[in-house]
């Protein structure tokens, strides 16, 4: 009898988070929605007036929009790491984060996918990127890293959505049982009539295993492909073999930080301390520390390589990064990404969620700055001194960037109230 009560309690506790929202929630949602709307209006303004309202000038033709694209794609990776990779490693602590992380992946990819369109200026010609049979018999250039992005990010988004949905399938069955009204109908349809028979569970188990196995190589490959947008060029500071693992480690780093940023307030607001414990956060903090060390290694190697050889262009590119116009951003990036996480070697700090929240926010800022520094400084200062330039973002770019954060948090807040925020079934299984 005891077990049945425990299961019912899990159901109730987690579905309770989906009840009527409080004032704080509505205020947060309003702010996020407002930012989204402002971002949308500014984008419409940019489409109407042209890309000139953004800060792009020769030679910096990739700037904040591409920074945001890489940033959001990076954030998405950690979700898949937690849900797919940790599943394959059978890490128990995963169950407290994986639903929130998968949702983060899906929403981050949605936001990321908008930025190549925004960056295009003439967003309506995005269809040039899609390989469809045209009447001119012209196909896309498969040798271009931008097309690789289309395939890689597109695949990643599709697989993530499927994985997210499949993970929630048994939970929809729980939700349809315990909710009323229009929500009950929606959950019933979404649950596909799931009953929980042995046939369903058997196939489900294998499906989940294979989806996790398919999603795992995506964690490494998608951000490698995104990094190759830069590494395939010959621009100094971009053309380096290290970019693929460096970006993947950075992606997991920034994504883990975003998971911490999202889940700490979530736990507090929804009283889920029983399910998301300090032990769980300590494990996640270790992932944060580990990936921070990899990123620091990459910084050291890159600066080392630049000073090593006879490539004066590389040397100048890195001298400019460290001491040029954007030096404060570079130093802030090193502080946030390499130095601050070193404090997580102390166990006491790993278990302090307030401190973890501060560290995760700093890491998010630092990783955004890293993408910005890599992209803008290398473009501003490449081979020929005659074409050296600078870059200042305009209010349009800043507004759209803030709008993207607003969109992400708005989607996330909507998710929190409408979908089970923890994996009910997995928690019951491990009770």
Map residues 2-31 to x or -, x wherever contact with another protein holds by CB under 8 A.
-xx--xx--x--------------------
Nearer to another protein, 37 or 305 (CB): 305
d(CA 121, CA 83): 35
Q: Kindly state whether residue 137 participates in binding another protein, applying the rule CB under 8 A.
A: yes
Size of the site for another protein (CB under 8 A): 84
Nearer to another protein, 57 or 311 (CB): 311
What DSSP line would sit under 283-334, residue for residue? HHHHHHHHHHHHHHHHHHHHHHHHHHSS-HHHHHHHHHHHHSTTHHHHHHHH
Which secondary-structure segment (H or E) carries 141? none
Residues 389-428 that bind another protein (CB under 8 A): 425-426, 428
Contacts of 27 (CB under 8 A, 6+ apart): none
Answer for which of 71, 148, 318, 412 binds another protein (CB under 8 A) is 148
Q: How many CB atoms lie within 10 A of CB 5?
A: 9
Q: Kindly state whether residue 131 participates in binding another protein, applying the rule CB under 8 A.
A: yes
Contacts of 36 (CB under 8 A, 6+ apart): 403, 406, 407, 410
Which tokens sit at 291? 């990936």
Answer for which of 186, 242, 315, 340 binds another protein (CB under 8 A) is 242
Nearer to another protein, 25 or 214 (CB): 214
Map residues 161-180 to x or -, x wherever contact with another protein holds by CB under 8 A.
-xx--x---x------x---
Q: Kindly state whether residue 355 participates in binding another protein, applying the rule CB under 8 A.
A: no
Q: Kindly state whether residue 202 participates in binding another protein, applying the rule CB under 8 A.
A: yes
Nearer to another protein, 200 or 325 (CB): 200
Region near another protein per CB under 8 A, out of 200-208, 355-363, 392-400, 410-418 = 200-208
d(CA 67, CA 63): 6
Region near another protein per CB under 8 A, out of 20-28, 60-68, 210-218, 383-391 = 210-218
Contacts of 374 (CB under 8 A, 6+ apart): 230, 237, 238
Answer for which of 16, 30, 44, 206 binds another protein (CB under 8 A) is 206
Rounded to the nearest 10 degrees, the angle between the axes of helix 243-270 and helix 278-308 is 160
Answer for which of 25, 93, 201, 313 binds another protein (CB under 8 A) is 201
Residues 40-79 that bind another protein (CB under 8 A): none
Going by C-alpha positions, the residue among 281, 282, 250, 279 that lies closest to residue 265 is 281
| Long-range pairs for 211-216: beta carbons < 8 A, 24 or more residues apart | 211/84, 211/159, 211/162, 211/163, 211/166, 212/83, 212/84, 212/85, 212/87, 212/88, 212/163, 213/84, 213/88, 214/159, 215/80, 215/83, 215/84, 215/159, 215/160, 215/163, 216/80, 216/84, 216/85, 216/88
Closest approach, Cβ 52 to another protein, in A, equals 29
First to last CA, the chain: 14
Residues 219-238 that bind another protein (CB under 8 A): 220-221, 224-225, 228, 231-234
Nearer to another protein, 315 or 332 (CB): 315
Q: How many CB atoms lie within 10 A of CB 165?
A: 14
Answer for which of 115, 243, 253, 326 binds another protein (CB under 8 A) is 243
d(CA 386, CA 368): 29
Closest approach, Cβ 34 to another protein, in A, equals 36
Region near another protein per CB under 8 A, out of 22-30, 113-121, 186-194, 332-340 = 186-194
Q: What are phi and psi of 26, to 5 degrees?
A: -65, -35
Residues 276-315 that bind another protein (CB under 8 A): 293, 297-298, 301-302, 304-305, 307-311
Answer for which of 30, 92, 126, 139 binds another protein (CB under 8 A) is 139
Nearer to another protein, 308 or 395 (CB): 308
Region near another protein per CB under 8 A, out of 113-121, 189-197, 326-334, 396-404 = 189-197
């Amino acid at each position: 009898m005891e077990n049945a009560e425990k299961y019912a309690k899990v159901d109730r506790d987690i579905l309770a988070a989906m009840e009527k929202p409080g004032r704080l929630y509505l205020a947060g949602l309003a702010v996020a929605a407002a930012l989204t709307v402002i971002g949308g209006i500014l984008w419409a303004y940019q489409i109407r007036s042209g890309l000139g309202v953004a800060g792009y000038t020769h030679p910096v033709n990739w700037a904040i929009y591409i920074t945001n694209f890489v940033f959001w794609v990076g954030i998405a990776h950690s979700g898949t790491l937690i849900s797919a990779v940790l599943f394959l490693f059978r890490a128990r602590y995963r169950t407290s984060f994986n639903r929130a992380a998968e949702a983060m992946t899906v929403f981050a990819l949605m936001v990321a996918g908008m930025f190549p369109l925004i960056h295009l200026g003439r967003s309506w010609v995005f269809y040039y990127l899609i390989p469809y049979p045209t009447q001119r018999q012209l196909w896309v250039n498969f040798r271009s890293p931008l097309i690789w992005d289309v395939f890689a990010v597109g695949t990643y988004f599709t697989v993530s959505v499927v994985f997210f949905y499949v993970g929630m399938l048994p939970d929809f069955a729980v939700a349809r049982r315990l909710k009323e009204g229009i929500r009950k109908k929606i959950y019933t349809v979404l649950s596909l009539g799931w009953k929980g028979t042995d046939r369903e569970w058997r196939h489900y188990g294998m499906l989940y295993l294979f989806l996790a196995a398919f999603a795992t190589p995506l964690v490494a490959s998608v951000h490698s492909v995104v990094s190759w947008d830069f590494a395939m060029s010959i621009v100094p500071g971009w053309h380096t073999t290290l970019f693929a693992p460096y970006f993947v480690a950075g992606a997991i780093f920034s994504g883990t930080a975003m998971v911490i940023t999202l889940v700490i307030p979530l736990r507090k607001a929804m009283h889920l301390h029983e399910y998301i414990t300090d032990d769980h956060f300590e494990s996640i903090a270790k992932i944060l520390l580990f990936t921070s060390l990899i990123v620091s290694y990459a910084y050291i190697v890159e600066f080392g390589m630049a000073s090593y050889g006879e490539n004066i262009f590389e040397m100048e590119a890195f001298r400019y990064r460290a001491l040029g116009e954007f030096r404060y951003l570079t130093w802030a990036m090193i502080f946030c990404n390499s130095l601050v996480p070193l404090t997580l070697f102390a166990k006491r700090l790993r278990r302090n969620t307030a401190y973890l929240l501060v560290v995760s926010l700093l890491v998010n800022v630092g990783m955004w700055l890293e993408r910005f520094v890599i992209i803008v400084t290398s473009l501003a200062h490449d081979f020929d001194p005659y074409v050296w330039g600078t870059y200042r973002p305009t209010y349009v770019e800043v507004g759209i960037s803030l709008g993207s954060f607003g969109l992400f948090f708005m989607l996330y807040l909507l998710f929190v109230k409408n979908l089970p925020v923890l994996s009910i079934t997995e928690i019951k299984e491990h009770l």
